[in-house]
Amino acid sequence: MKDIIDISDNRWQGVKKKLKIAIMLFGGFIALLILNPFVIVGAGERGVVLNFGAVQDYVFGEGLHLRIPIVQKVIIMDVKVHKSQTDAEAASKDLQDTHSTIAVNYHILPEKANWVYQNIGREYKERIIDPAVQEVVKAVTARYTAVELITQREKVRTEIMDLLKKRLIAYNIVVDDFSIVNFKFSQQFTQAIEAKQTAEQLALKAQRDLERIKIEAEQKITQARAEAEALRLQKQNVTPELVKLRMIEASLKAIEKWDGHLPKVTAGAVPFIDIKSFEKD
């Protein structure tokens, strides 16, 4: 009987030990979930490490990382290329108001994500990029007249982009691309440009008409001169011999047409053909 009791106690002790281990493992799993010592940094992201709120001088790259629970906190920063669109107003060199919409593609330097978070925060578009775009557009626009802003748009774009790159790289923000989506002037200036273009087109048309009239006049003068020269040459070529030849030709044609009968009723003399005129001189 005593042996049976001892065996039962041993079994109970084994069960209790296994149950204790299971409880400890479950408790450890719950604690692991609560403390969450793992952090995953996704593609195009960087992890900014904070030790009791202090930004560390290193960042976590993409992948799975282990952090110290309670002590460390990881802030995820997006380092992919983003698009910022800003409306900017400025004045040209000749004091014409301009309104433009600027699109900027940018990203923060991945290795400087901790610096950006510490000094600017996550709102770097509103705090840094938008004001920089406004200031740069005003600075470059003031160098050109309104007409130059239209005719040299690509040059203006390049200058704005270069200056914006220099301004933003100081904050560890890289400008990938830049474009002027929309660019317009005041309604009065636009109407003045349209009126000028219309006047230039009318002036060009008038000039072309004048050139056409001149050409036509020159053609008529040339034609008249040619006709006058032809008449002059004809007069020079009219000689007594030519006149006599024409008379002979006319007489021969009259003979060919005559049927050999005299008309029954005549109002005048019978036509006379000068036979001697056929003789040579």
**Per-residue pLDDT in tens (0 to 9) along the chain, 281 residues:** 555 555 556 666 666 777 777 777 766 556 555 557 889 999 999 999 999 999 999 999 999 998 888 889 999 999 999 999 988 888 888 888 888 899 999 999 999 999 999 999 999 999 999 999 999 999 999 999 888 888 898 999 999 999 999 999 999 999 999 898 888 877 766 666 666 666 667 777 777 777 888 888 888 888 888 877 776 766 666 666 666 766 777 777 777 766 666 555 555 555 554 545 545 44
> Which of 181, 96, 66 has the alpha carbon at shortest distance from 133?
181
For the record, the structure tokens of 80 come out as 């992919």
pLDDT in tens, 183-217: 887 776 666 666 666 666 777 777 777 788 888 88
Count Cβ atoms within 10 A of the Cβ of residue 216 and give its class: 0-12 exposed, 13-18 middle, 19 or more buried: exposed
Whole-number Å distance between alpha carbons of 248 and 242: 10
User: For 80, which DSSP code?
Assistant: S
> How many Cα atoms sit within 13 Å of 230 on the Cβ side?
6
| pTM (two decimals) | 0.58
